[in-house]
Amino acid sequence: LQTATKSASATLALTDSAKVVETSVASANNLTVPPNSSVPFPIGTQILVIQVGTGQTTLVAGSGVTINSKSGNLKISGQWSAVTLIKRATDTWVAIGDLSA
């Protein structure tokens, strides 16, 4: 898989589809999942996100987006932890992986 590196808070782009997104940030940062109206990822899209930096990455739902996860956790647990985002419906995603509150 190809890699897309984010060196600051960022919003997922269509070009991130089927890539490994690495968040390489030294401070806390956000990775926003945009609404389908602005970035129309196909249903079934999977994006692997790895926190390679020391700054904790938080998954943020864009306007009208729902991100479902175990216990509602949306923060990647730590450096070298990972999560997979899967698009299940128009503006509904599931996050599966090493997440914390």
pLDDT tens-digit readout, 22-47: 999 999 999 999 999 999 999 999 99
pLDDT band at 18; cut points 50, 70, 90: confident
Rounded to whole angstroms, the Cα distance separating 86 from 45 reads: 6
Give the residue-averaged pLDDT of 8-21.
95
Long-range CB pairs of 71-74 (<8 Å, 24+ gap) are 71/101, 72/101, 73/99, 73/100, 73/101, 74/99
pTM: 0.96
